Structure 1
Amino acid sequence: MKTSLYVFINLICVLILSACGGSSDKSVSTNVTGVQDTITSTIDTYLNANSAPNEPGLSIIIKKDDVVVYQSNRGLANKQTNTGINSDTGFRLASVSKPFTALAIMQLYEQGLISMEDKLLDYIPELSSNWQAITVEHLLTHRSGIPDFLNDIWSDKRNSGLTNQGLIQFFAKTPELEFPPGSKGDYSNTGYVLLAEIVARVSGLSFSEYMQQNIFTPIGMHNSYITDETTPLKMGDALNFADKDTYHGFKMYTYGSMAQVSSANDLSKFTLALKNHQIVNQQTLALMIEPHANLVNVGDYGYGFAIRDGFDHSGLWDSFNTLLRFYPEQEIELIYLSNGGEVTDLHMSNIQKLVRDFYKL
């Protein structure tokens, strides 16, 4: 099925930037430029050679030692209104939403309200008793065995208009697992939808309210919010290919695995707050960026972060290409948000390589 293949390819690209550095479309190419004297000239040379002001574009921030050393915005958030991208433009984060969902869980963990060994059914008892062995940690580390509703069992009919509650109802009636919980790791968006529901049920708030009250507002992420069936994309935020706001041509309202909207400026505030332990404490962050699983086609994974020479998460969904990358030993962070599909996916990989080459990472 064409759609299933597209989603599977996107999943592979979600986390493996080094292995998925280019586009699956051979007609998409870029002018390769190299390292220049400064990080500004290095990235500007590349973008000047490869981006146009009247096309969908991107928003980038690079930080070194908590100082912004590069910041740029190119292209359009909305072609129809000719609205340009700036550093406060909100982008759908795609799978970069997952670290935020994991942090919400870990805040509740710090308060003693959740344990990693707690059973999923303790919080969502309407799910099948066949899932009794699944724990919170299994969900965080993609080791639950629950099929991924976006690539393992894609359905246009089911996913059109799908909500978190609709997904829970579907799995309550369709409880078959892909493997015994904890026996291996396989990336699953479903697990992070269920984690968002756990956050809501434990806190007594909607997931959106929890994120606003406990993460976004306290650190000044004023352009960040969760989209769902009651909260559409805000005016001025980036559209897919700068002209549409639907996934695969239809609306989908699940959140936790995706659906967060944030700007580059907001993510810059987030990186500083995370490093300064304003969101979770030092011990909790260390636990999150420690490898807890080895995922098929992904590699080492902690709680909400892929673990490589640093830690990160990337996202690719229906023309949104996003990256949040930490190199803690070198005190470097890379924030990349875009809405241009195949070509901005290629830019994401190329710019990450330029950053690594410039700083000799």
Structure 2
Amino acid sequence: MIRTETLVRQGDEWIVDDATETRYQLASVSKQFTAAAVLLLVADGRLAIDDRVSRWIDSSPEQWRDITLHHLLTHTSGLGTWHDYPMIDLAQRVEPSELLRTFAGVPLQYPPGQSWSYSSPAYVLLAHVVERAADTPYREFVADRIFDHLGLANTFAGAPGGRPNLAPGHDIEGQPRPTWELDVVGMGAGDVWSTAKDVLAWIDALQAGRLLPEPYRTLMLTERVPTGKGPDESGYGYGVFIGEVNGRHWWHHSGDNAGYNAFAANIPELARRVVVLTNTDAMDASTIEPLLA
């Protein structure tokens, strides 16, 4: 069954509340959790924002020599996005070492730090860095340090196994669609499942500093680099787009995996948070725009 769940909250008032305990893939909204995981390890003293990726990824190619964690977090590493790696089947599991070799074999689009281009593979690399620095599987680290810590009881990363209350994905015509692989290929880039209520709780906790201490909360939620895009996403922080909507500052991210679309946003000046999750490829901007008016 196709479902779309929408939460809009302004202050303590619910404007829309259609949420259930159904879990959806968050797709690229997952990148917020990856960025937060990196920043938690920076706060712990296990990582530094200017660490070179070659310190943490074995057999990094020479072309990655100048890539730092900051570059990966802000999509300025020069790595491409999925369509630049046509040899990767997003629905097919491969060994992590094979996936990293595939990334390493594709030339960078530009020298690190010289431009901006969205890159999901960059966030897969960040998840590997988290695993290496924490000496813990990525999905276990985010479960312990983020989901459990914040009481996000219906949120998890990776393949669902036998977990209940999962919304199956559908294509634009309403037909069932096989899921992407989330334990290796999508790890850190689009691997989180959650509910609309949990995502709202996540937005509130992140904004209020209940997860990241300063200055790391501010580093994540303010512009680190310009994107060259329109005013609503003119900058990128760490795991979030930064810009203005209707003349007010906001941070947000959208996501789309096969059969799923997601959107999460916060307009701090209005205390207005918007979460939309759906298990269909059919959602577009027309679903979101009326919620921001």
The interval holding the TM-score normalised by the smaller chain is 0.7 to 0.9
SS in 1 for 2:5: strand
Q: Which residue number corresponds to residue 308 of structure 1?
A: 243
Aligned residue type for 1:319: G
1:122-160 CA distance string (max 9 Å, x none): 001312122110000000000101122x12222355862
CA distance in 2, matches of 1:261, 1:200: 19
TM-score normalized with structure 2 length = 0.88
What does 1:1-361 correspond to in 2, within 5 Å? 55-73=1-19, 87-148=20-81, 150-155=82-87, 160-162=92-94, 164-172=96-104, 174-228=105-159, 231-232=160-161, 234-241=163-170, 244=176, 246-247=178-179, 251=181, 253=183, 254=185, 255-295=187-227, 299-309=234-244, 310-342=250-282, 345-346=283-284, 349-357=285-293
How much does 1:176 deviate? 1.8
| Unaligned ranges ≥5, structure 1 | 1-54, 74-86
CA distance in 1, matches of 2:127, 2:47: 13
Give me the whole-angstrom Cα distance separating, in 1, the residues matched to 2:5 and 2:89: 34
- Name the count of aligned residue pairs: 280
- Judged with a 3 Å threshold, the aligned counterparts in structure 2 of structure 1 residues 232 and 244 are, in CA distance, closer, same or farther, namely farther
Contact 2:85 2:106 in 1 (8 A): no
* Contact 1:187/1:296 (<8 A) preserved: no
1:237 counterpart letter in structure 2? L
Give the whole-Å Cα distance in 2 for the aligned partners of 1:296 and 1:257: 22
Q: Percent identity?
A: 25
Which residue identity is paired with 2:178? T
Cα displacement (A) at 1:277 = 1.2
Consecutive unaligned residues in structure 2, runs of 5 or more: 245-249
Q: Determine the C-alpha separation between the residues in 2 that align with 1:133 and 1:162.
A: 27
Helix, strand or coil at the partner of 1:333: strand
Mapped partners of 1:211, 1:162: distance in 2? 22
Deviation of 1:243 after TM superposition, in Å, equals: 6.5
Shift of 1:356: 2.4
The CA distance in 2 between the partners of 1:220 and 1:112, in whole Å, is 25
1:67 positional shift: 4.2
* Distance change >3 Å, CA 270–CA 99, structure 1 → 2: same
Question: In the TM superposition, what is the alpha-carbon distance from 1:296 to its structure 2 partner?
Answer: 5.7
- Give the distance between the partners of 1:302 and 1:158, measured in 2 at CA: 26
Please give the alpha-carbon distance, in whole angstroms, between the structure 1 residues aligned to 2:79 and 2:260.
25
Report the Cα distance in structure 2 between the residues aligned to 1:154 and 1:276, rounded to whole angstroms. 40
Relative to 1, partners in 2 of residues 1:313 and 1:163: Cα closer, same or farther, differing over 3 Å? farther
Q: Classify 1:335/1:143 alpha carbon distance in 2 versus 1 (closer, same or farther; 3 Å).
A: same
Instruction: Evaluate the alpha carbon distance shift between residue 352 and residue 245 of structure 1 in structure 2; reply closer, same or farther with a 3 A threshold.
Output: closer
Asked if the contact 1:162/1:252 (under 8 Å) is kept, the reply is no
Please report how far the alpha carbon of residue 315 of structure 1 lies from its aligned counterpart in structure 2 after TM superposition: 0.6
Preserved CA contact (<8 Å) 2:52 2:65: yes
Q: Alpha carbons of 1:204 and 1:68: their partners in 2 closer, same or farther (altered >3 Å)? A: farther
Q: Is the Cα contact below 8 Å between 2:79 and 2:122 reproduced in 1? A: yes
Aligned-partner Cα distance in 2 for 1:158–1:234? 22
Q: Distance in 1 between matches of 2:16 and 2:31?
A: 25
Structure 1 pair 276/141, CA: closer, same or farther in 2 (3 Å)? same
- Helix, strand or coil at the partner of 1:151: helix
Q: Find the counterpart in structure 2 of residue 47 from structure 1.
A: none
Is the contact made by 2:29 and 2:254 (CA closer than 8 Å) also made in structure 1?
yes
**Residues 154 and 198 of structure 2 are in contact (CA less than 8 Å); yes or no, is this contact kept in structure 1?**
yes
Report the equivalent of 1:39: none
For 2:139, the aligned partner's letter is: S
* 1:227 CA drift (Å): 1.3
